Amino acid sequence: MELIFSKLLTQTDIERRLSVPTRILYLFPYTATDHRCFDLQVKDTGDVVWSFRCIRRDGVYAKPVFSKGWLEFVYAKGLKACDKIVVYKAKGVVEGDVPYRIEVKRKILRLM
């Protein structure tokens, strides 16, 4: 699998939307008709498919965000600030399957 990005989640990421790195935009399936948004399907480690709307905001700060669908994932997984997500693109995916994968890595609290 090819690593697309990983991110330690912030409070904004778990309460509103997930801000993703601008440098990865070329890896995603924008269409010629709508270069500002698309729906990205990802499969989690339990083989559940999730759909996130990826929007590239206008203006000087044109950072892309996952909006629609993202909070449902956050609530279903019980994500908290400082948890980490990792997004991969699988290689050799069969046509019709979802090529993107998402993995959650929980923040580990050390009791000492």
Q: SS3 for 61? A: coil
Question: Could you give the CA distance from residue 110 to residue 56 in angstroms, rounded to a whole number?
Answer: 38
What value, to the nearest 5°, has the Cα angle with vertex 66 and ends 74 and 90?
85
| Higher local confidence (pLDDT), 14 or 33 | 14
Q: Is 69 contained in some domain?
A: yes
How many separate helices (H) and strands (E) can be counted in the chain?
2, 7
Query: Residues of the chain with pLDDT > 90: what percent?
Result: 46
pLDDT in tens, 44-74: 999 999 999 988 877 777 788 888 999 999 9
Is the model's pLDDT at 95 over the cut of 90?
Answer: no
Q: Is 9 contained in some domain?
A: yes
CATH of the domain at 83: 2.40.330.10
Give the chain's domain count. 1
Say whether pTM exceeds 0.95.
Answer: no
Q: Is 21 contained in some domain?
A: yes
Q: Is 112 contained in some domain?
A: no
Backbone phi and psi for residue 39, each to the nearest 5 degrees, phi listed first: -100, 125
Q: Please report, for residues 66, 79, 80, 88, the alpha-carbon distance to residue 83 in angstroms, rounded to integers and kept in the order given.
A: 17, 7, 6, 17
Q: Is 111 contained in some domain?
A: no
Q: Is 110 contained in some domain?
A: no
Q: Is 72 contained in some domain?
A: yes
Cβ neighbourhood burial of 112 (10 Å; 0-12, 13-18, 19+)? exposed
Range of the domain at 94: 2-105
Cβ neighbours of 3 (radius 10 Å): 10
